[in-house]
Amino acid sequence: MLKLKSVAGPTSYARGGFPVRFGEFQKVLAASVSHSGGASMRSGDLVRIPVGSIAGTTVTIQIATGAASSAWAEAPAATDFSDTVFTVVAEGE
């Protein structure tokens, strides 16, 4: 079964990412994420669900800053992403 969940980004980003919980599942099997591209998200910023960041019913989203061609560099702690909507599509059981 697939579920779609949209959430506002955190007002103070914590390194390691922020959680999105899917209480309607017993377990999330796979997920992908996209974002609305609010003012806090600059051109070239990346959003990802890293390997191992799905635990039970929780998906963790990490944000990287910089160009897609550069090495992954996680967004600084305390960055405000509240103007960006993140949409997670999850498959679960």
**Tally of domains in the chain:** 1
CA angle 7, 85, 90 (to 5 degrees): 55
Q: What is the DSSP letter of 90?
A: E
Q: pTM, whole model, 2 decimals?
A: 0.86
- Residues 1-14: what's their mean pLDDT? 95
Decide: 45 and 69 in contact? Cβ < 8 Å: no
- pLDDT tens digits, 28-87: 999 999 888 777 777 667 788 776 799 999 999 998 876 555 677 888 899 899 999 999
> What does the pLDDT read at residue 92?
97
Distance CA 6, CA 1 (A): 17
Provide the residue range defining the domain that includes 21: 2-92
CA angle 93, 64, 26 (to 5 degrees): 10
Collect all residues with Cβ–Cβ distance below 8 Å to 69 and sequence separation of at least 6: none
Q: Give me the residue label for tokens 């955190």.
A: 10
